[in-house]
Amino acid sequence: MNDSTIAEQIQGLKKARNAVIVAHNYQNDEVQEIADAVGDSFYLSKLCATNPAQCIVFCGVGFMAESAKILSPQKTVLLPERQAGCPMADSVTVEDVRALKAQHPGAAVMCYINTSAEVKAECDVCCTSSNAVKIARALPQRDIIFVPDRNLGHFVAMQLPEKNFFVHDGCCVTHTRIGLRELEAARKKYPGAPVAVHPECPPELVDVADFTGSTSEIIDFCRRSPAQCILIGTEMGILHTLRKDNPQKEFILLSPRLVCSNMKMTTLESVRRSLDEGRYVVEVEESIRLRAKTCLERMLAIAG
């Protein structure tokens, strides 16, 4: 079957199931094309909570689909590829969070949305890369435990010197594939081009970049920038929207290794099969879900 036949079938199955298809900015181009909404993790988590469709097909990775289920337990949430996970989310366990709490009693416990439901259930408040600074600033506590991304933790800590951060040592295998060497080589090749990176990148990159933000914030920055050529330090899936939005501009990925293999698992065929066979259903145990929901809802209340 070719892509347009599969895309047609997806539209029919979607109607029959009263489903909405959402896709993260890192998904394969053709998956982004058939999605009803494409965005960063904050936008998608809000959208899933408010969209009236009975079924959500989440083209992304496990923790994203799980967050949708936590916020909308009455809906069927489908993850087209069961194996699509996030190694960063897997790097922190409930035991790790409990150990940090024991070491720093009284500290607020903040987690990146890139965590399991069980870890969220142990934390006070969640955040995404687009609102982490805002959330940390709003917390009354001076001491803040942050899990799991050391690079996002560092990025937030740099902007809030009045707070004390205790950061778990996790990171993204994709964003840590690049370093200063790639950035300097690209700056030499494209002199004057601004550099936009994701806060999951190593601090030495973030420190010298012209812009740091979530995937959707990078997309906004590139839309607004008068520059004709922009260097991009995040997963390559973002290039699809960047090039569609700005056909006259040139976007250069800092490294061809900026590919998240988990995000790339989802294909048109897996979305079709997901709708056809109702798989893979995301479930979260109710006592965990209720605590994780509080953690996510605190984020939504602060970040709006």
Binding residues (CB under 6 A) for ligand SF4: these are 61, 86-88, 114, 172-174, 200, 235, 260, 262-263
Residues 6+ apart with CB under 8 A from 50: none
Residues 159 and 133: beta-carbon distance below 8 Å? yes
Alpha helices (H) along 51-200: 62-71, 87-90, 94-103, 117-122, 132-138, 150-159, 180-189
Q: Which residue stretch of 39-47, 163-171, 204-212, 219-227 sits at the interface with ligand 13P (rule: CB under 6 A)?
A: 39-47
Residue 262 near which of ligand 13P, ligand SF4, none (CB within 5-8 Å, type-dependent): ligand SF4
Residue number, 173 or 229, with CB nearest to ligand 13P? 173
From 28, 45, 115, 128, residue interacting with ligand 13P (rule: CB under 6 A): 128
Residues 242 and 228: beta-carbon distance below 8 Å? no
Q: Which residue stretch of 12-20, 37-45, 160-168, 267-275 sits at the interface with ligand 13P (rule: CB under 6 A)?
A: 37-45
Residues 6+ apart with CB under 8 A from 83: 262, 265
| 115 part of the interface to ligand 13P, by CB under 6 A | no
| 32 part of the interface to ligand 13P, by CB under 6 A | no
Residue number, 66 or 200, with CB nearest to ligand 13P? 200
Nearest to 211 by CA among 132, 182, 201: 201
Bond prior to 26 in cis (omega within 30° of 0): no
CB atoms within 10 A of CB 239: 17
State the binding string over 209-248 for ligand 13P (x if CB under 6 A, else -).
-----xx---------------------------------
Residue 266 near which of ligand 13P, ligand SF4, none (CB within 5-8 Å, type-dependent): none
From 172, 195, 206, 258, residue interacting with ligand 13P (rule: CB under 6 A): 172
| 255 part of the interface to ligand 13P, by CB under 6 A | no
Residue 87 near which of ligand SF4, ligand 13P, none (CB within 5-8 Å, type-dependent): ligand SF4
Q: How many residues does the chain have?
A: 304
Angle at the Cα of 61 from the Cα atoms of 284 and 157, rounded to 5 degrees? 95
Residues 87 and 258: beta-carbon distance below 8 Å? no
Q: How far is the CB of 202 from ligand SF4 (least distance, A)?
A: 13
